[in-house]
Amino acid sequence: FMRRQQVLLLYRRILQAIREVPNDSDRKYLKDWAREEFKRNKSATEEDTIRMMITQGNMQLKELEKTLALAKS
């Protein structure tokens, strides 16, 4: 149950970050990519695997936020 909340929070944070992307086609691409990634890994049950995917997702989110911050400056 706690993992589910973590995953949903991560998904929401990724989508919020994607909304900041200025280019329409890039934004659509990233949104589709995020949706597909989460859908593809939906059936994962292994605790370690889920933890690893959450960590990976957070790193990708930080990278996206960093890129967006650079683009704005």
pLDDT at res. 23: 92
pLDDT at res. 2: 82
pLDDT at res. 56: 96
The model carries a pTM of 0.89
The first and second tokens of residue 24, run together, are: 């329409």
Average per-residue pLDDT for the chain? 94
> Minimal CA–CA distance to 35: which of 49, 18, 20?
18
- Number of domains, the chain: 1
Given a cut of 80, whether residue 14 has pLDDT beyond it is yes
State the residue range of the domain holding 27: 1-72
| Beta carbons of 43 and 7 less than 8 angstroms apart | no
pLDDT digits (tens, 9 = 90+) for 52-64: 999 999 999 999 9
